[in-house]
Amino acid sequence: MKKVILGKTNELVSRISLGTWSYGGANTTGEMAVGWAGQKDEDSRLALQRAWELGINHWDTADVYGDGHSETIIGSMWKNIPRKDIFLATKFGWSMGNYAHYYHPKHMRIQFENSLKNLQTDTVDLLYLHHCNFGDSEEYFDDANELLHKLQEEGKVRFIGLSDWSSKKIMKFIDRVNPDVVQPYRNVMDDGYASSGLKKWIEKNNAGVCFFSPLKHGLLTGKYHAPVTFPDGDFRSNIPDFQRWDVLNAMRDNKKNVEIRFQGHPQPVLHGLLDSLLTDVSTGCVLLGQRNVQQVEAASSLGNPLNKKDYDWIKSNYLIRR
Ligand SMILES: NC(=O)c1ccc[n+]([C@@H]2O[C@H](COP(=O)([O-])OP(=O)(O)OC[C@H]3O[C@@H](n4cnc5c(N)ncnc54)[C@H](OP(=O)(O)O)[C@@H]3O)[C@@H](O)[C@H]2O)c1
């Protein structure tokens, strides 16, 4: 697996890194589905083991993935895998506990201490603020930011990060947090990363960047032939595109084109969709959700950025066919 220096962290991480949201299993917050159904712990463990063997050395989780279950699965792996071999990232900020807001510092501290226990480690390599909703007048921002930096000073966190689905929101807070690493949403059809100015900020500040949901949760692969009904607790039931014939058909057409264009590659579709996200990025990686050994092995053939011509081709292909 190709590696990259994650900006100013100076850490060498796999170009295709491992997202473990699904390892938390099906989950809900109130009425809202926030997990992934049908995940077997044994598949998660085998995938982690294989990822380590293949050099996928950066694993991303969060306190809320299965309310700690994803972290616990990772924590169970140090019997077989040296902890020092893995660049381990977690997040806090989406659990509210009994407080009035997600970013209450007392609750955040408790959540973080639980993450360390679940992960069976004294230190995480990277800790993110999971989102940028800091209250109507940003009243929770200062305390949350202070706690993040304090945990770093205490030596419990090596590097600090900032994340959100919206790159625009990240831009609102980025100078005040001054993160080592940023985690934005990015895929071939959505480039708020560049249009928001975040890309420029990353380059100017030599920050690391990790793109999440690069396959739009699997939708972009073109593997769906008809609208899908996901089981209870599966986050994908909130994504309208999984119900739209026109979108699913367009993704299947795109898949055929990409398979022809990159027919010499063992994973032509993933190569087009994921390696294109690396073309204009020299300090970052893609966080791909890999649910089993087969998906890890497919990921291991990736990580070579597309050239500019192929990059332009794939972008126009997906923009036109949406
Ligand atoms: N910071 C944030 O707010 C945030 C938000 C979302 C995600 N994330 C992070 O980013 C990671 C990845 O995002 P994501 O899980 O939303 O989605 P994703 O990476 O876009 O898609 C992952 C899904 O694509 C399918 N897939 C993967 N490899 C495949 C292959 N070789 N062939 C066919 N299908 C394949 C799998 O679904 P099936 O097997 O079910 O088809 C897999 O669960 C998460 O795990 C998490 O760590 C962070």
Q: pTM for the whole thing?
A: 0.98
- For 271-286, write each residue's pLDDT tens digit: 999 999 999 999 999 9
Provide the number of structural domains found in the chain.
1
Considering the domain boundaries, does residue 16 fall inside one? yes
What separation in Å is there between the alpha carbon of 268 and the centre of ligand 1?
18
Considering the domain boundaries, does residue 117 fall inside one? yes
Q: What is the mean pLDDT of each run of 10 residues along the chain (322 residues)?
A: 97 98 96 96 98 98 98 98 98 94 95 98 98 96 98 98 98 98 97 96 98 98 96 97 95 96 98 98 98 98 98 87 48
Q: Write the CATH number for 78.
A: 3.20.20.100
Residue of the nearest CA to atom 37 in ligand 1? 218
Atom of ligand 1 nearest to the CA of 218: 24
**Distance, CA of 164 to CA of 171 (rounded, Å):** 10
Q: What is the DSSP string of 101-116?
A: STT-HHHHHHHHHHHH
Considering the domain boundaries, does residue 298 fall inside one? yes
Share of the chain above pLDDT 70, in %: 99
Share of the chain above pLDDT 90, in %: 97
Ligand 1 is surrounded, with C-beta below 6 A, by: 19-22, 60, 130, 163, 165, 183, 212-218, 221, 223, 270, 287-291, 295, 298
- For 139-183, write each residue's pLDDT tens digit: 999 999 999 999 999 999 999 999 999 999 999 999 999 999 999
**Distance, CA of 8 to CA of 123 (rounded, Å):** 19
Residue of the nearest CA to atom 28 in ligand 1? 295
Q: Which residues contact 131 (CB under 8 A, 6 or more apart)?
A: 93, 94, 102, 163, 164, 165, 169
Query: Residue 133's domain spans which residues?
Result: 3-239+277-305
What separation in Å is there between the alpha carbon of 144 and the centre of ligand 1?
27
pLDDT of residue 320: 55
Atom of ligand 1 nearest to the CA of 294: 31
Considering the domain boundaries, does residue 313 fall inside one? no
Considering the domain boundaries, does residue 270 fall inside one? no
